[in-house]
Amino acid sequence: MNLCDLAPEYIRAIHPYQPGKPISELAREMGMDEHSIIKLASNENPLGTSPLALEAMLQAMDKVALYPDGSGFELKAALSERYTVASNQIVLGNGSNDVLELAARVFLKPGASAVYSQHAFAVYPLVTQAMGASGIAVPARKYGHDLDAMLDAVTPETRMVFIANPNNPTGTFLVASALLRFLERVSSDVLVVLDEAYNEYLPSTMQADSIAWLKRFPNLLITRTFSKAYGMAGIRVGFGLAHPDVSGLMNRVRQPFNVNSIGLAGAVAALQDIEFVKRSYALNQSGMLQITTGLRQLGIEYIPSYGNFLSFRVNGGNAGAINESLLRQGVIVRPISIYEMPEHLRVTVGLESENQTFLKSLEIAIGESA
């Protein structure tokens, strides 16, 4: 008997997560200069990293011989002050992906289920399946979460519901009142994971006061990340906020040093860099307008997005050919057929010049495929 055949069937059935193509890989494949390539494929911050965070991380380099503070004391203190939560309500993660996985480890097992929406973030089915639990994908409504249908999909075995707001890759948004109504109606023995990875890209008037809801709903877990608006995707820091009992269980199953010392130092500094987040927000607003205007001029349908990315539908459904042409022109976007959206491509809002290059290359790609 082959050892790998003895691995649980639910592990062997996992389709690996497909990340955006790295610039270096495309450069190798096409024999291109890396500098001539633009990557708008992974919702990274086109402004780079918060300068305050960068400075703090460079200083932290001096101490990499030492283990990080496994409790993340300073970062938790900073988060606790910023969000008015107690330190024991915080779970730090190696990116918020880690936090999502920790929650699944705590609450899921074979026989249990998790509910999420069709077209929702790919990590939800992944972490569910990795625990041998079953995933219940609820058909989307206008590409967004259908919260009523998701509520109806909850069974006595359901232990988790994942909600991304805004959702990736569709960019759809749920208003606070709809989320509250869901929390009020869903059984208190189901953990509701509210993934707010793109929260900082919402106008402040649209940001739900979700953290205040933690007092009312001990079955709520909010996840946030330093990967997007803070520009720290490569250093991997995210966090979860929940009732102390929930975060306590999650902290038991995490690796003792799951967040590295450079990331911890960077995140503390990034939190203070309100100016950088403001600039990132403003650039995203203008870039989103630039891209949507350009797409409309090209006659391309898109799903209005509240994140730092946008999914657009390629006429005739030849997204594969358009993507290939974009790659040949040195523009990396994200095919999203694994999200059951084979006719769409997702583009991250970049710098003004990158958005312009993307739009020009897309026009050429469409011309080629016509």
Ligand X SMILES: *Cc1c(COP(=O)(O)O)cnc(C)c1O
Can you give the binding site for ligand X, defined by CB under 6 A? Answer: 43, 95-97, 121, 164, 168, 195, 197, 225, 227-228, 233, 238
CB of 120 to ligand X, least distance (A): 8
The sign of the torsion formed by the CA atoms of 16, 90, 74, 195 equals positive
Contacts of 7 (CB under 8 A, 6+ apart): none
Report the alpha-carbon angle 92-39-230, nearest 5. Answer: 30
Q: Which is nearer to ligand X, 145 or 228 (CB)?
A: 228
Give the tokens for residue 12.
Answer: 């062997």
Which residue is at the shortest CB distance from ligand X?
A: 95
Taking the complex as a whole, how short is the minimal distance between the CB of residue 297 and ligand X, in angstroms? 28
DSSP 8-state class, residue 339? G
Q: Output 89 or 165, the one with its CB closest to ligand X.
A: 165
CA distance 124 to 361: 33
Structure-derived torsion over alpha carbons of residues 240, 264, 22, 316, reported in degrees to the nearest 10: 30
- In angstroms, the first-to-last Cα distance of the chain is 52
Least Å distance, CB 6 to ligand X, is: 31
Which residue, 287 or 330, is less far from ligand X as judged by CB?
Answer: 287
Give the residue with the Cβ less far from ligand X, 238 or 266. Answer: 238
Burial 170-188 (b: 16+ CB within 10 A, else e): bbbbbeeebbbebbeebee
CB of 237 to ligand X, least distance (A): 8
Element (H, E) at 162: strand 158-164
Helix, coil or strand: residue 34: helix
Q: Which residue has the tokens 């958005």?
A: 355
CB of 139 to ligand X, least distance (A): 19
Q: Smaller CB distance to ligand X: residue 127 or 359? A: 127
Nearer to ligand X, 122 or 149 (CB): 122
Cα(118)–Cα(143) distance, integer angstroms = 8
Which lies closer to ligand X via its Cβ, residue 190 or residue 259? 259
Q: For the CB of residue 336, give the shortest distance to ligand X in the complex, in Å.
A: 12
- Beta carbon of residue 308, minimum distance to ligand X (angstroms, whole number): 9
